[in-house]
Amino acid sequence: MSGKLFVIGTGPGNPDQMTPEALAAVAQATDFYGYGPYLDRLTLNAGQRRHVSDNREELDRAGAALRSASDGANVCVVSGGDPGVFAMAAAVCEAIDNGPPEWRNVELIIIPGITAMLAVAARIGAPLGHDFCAISLSDNLKPWDVIENRLQMAAKAGFVIALYNPISKARPWQLGKAFELLRAVLPAETPVIFGRAAGRPDERIAVQRLEHADATVADMATCVIIGSAETRIIARDGQTDLVYTPRFISGGNR
């Protein structure tokens, strides 16, 4: 008899942002599969086993978890943020799609969490208040020309854009190139939000104008939100400025 496979997200890293539903799944599971820093966010008892793997071994991790669940264990696959946003839920589904028939009989429970762009947006106001999209700048799993095209089309369509995986040691140039492409489409004063480790003790939130946006401010722990032409900054004396995207666009019906 197959066990259960939970796929959970720990949120951006603040323990208060992990949902009660995810915590309940942790309490039920005996085996935990994930990237080490994400597993470190959990408080496990002596009878619960950790299976740590590198952050770029997602399909192997999903397969190992499915084998364990297929053998009858209650298993938890752990992501940061929300497991369905550039995370492990897609890897588990892909493994099931391409794996042995018995994996399709595993009871799969995907539990939503708070993803980085939501945590960053809440710290600065409401930049995602109107239509938005999320794009990963990593070209590990898709060609860079696809990323360039999506950036340009999203900006031309008026979407606020949340960028995941903006920069790394192996990819130090891509965020700067993204800004260069977007400057050709968006107004110079478009707000760019750099949100690092939102809600954690090492949180760092900065707002710059697209015209002078500095890619070196970001690292892999940063989610970058680029406003649309409608996105506004509200200056406040003695308090953090607010950034928001109005819900009304000229020509619409209130």
- What is the DSSP secondary structure assignment for residue 11, as one 8-state letter? B
Per-residue model confidence as pLDDT tens digits over 200-235: 999 999 999 999 999 999 998 999 999 999 999 999
**Beta carbons of 158 and 132 less than 8 angstroms apart:** no
Can you list the residues of the chain whose pLDDT is less than 50?
Answer: none
The per-residue pLDDT for 54 is 87
Which stretches of the chain are DSSP H helices? 20-28, 36-39, 58-70, 88-98, 116-124, 144-157, 174-183
Per-residue model confidence as pLDDT tens digits over 148-185: 999 999 999 999 999 999 998 889 999 999 999 999 99
The per-residue pLDDT for 194 is 98
The per-residue pLDDT for 249 is 76
Enumerate the domain spans of the chain. 4-110, 116-244
The per-residue pLDDT for 105 is 94
What architecture does CATH give domain 116-244?
2-Layer Sandwich (3.30)
**Beta carbons of 2 and 106 less than 8 angstroms apart:** yes
Closest CA relative to residue 53, chosen from 26, 33, 73: 33
User: What class does CATH assign to 4-110?
Assistant: alpha beta
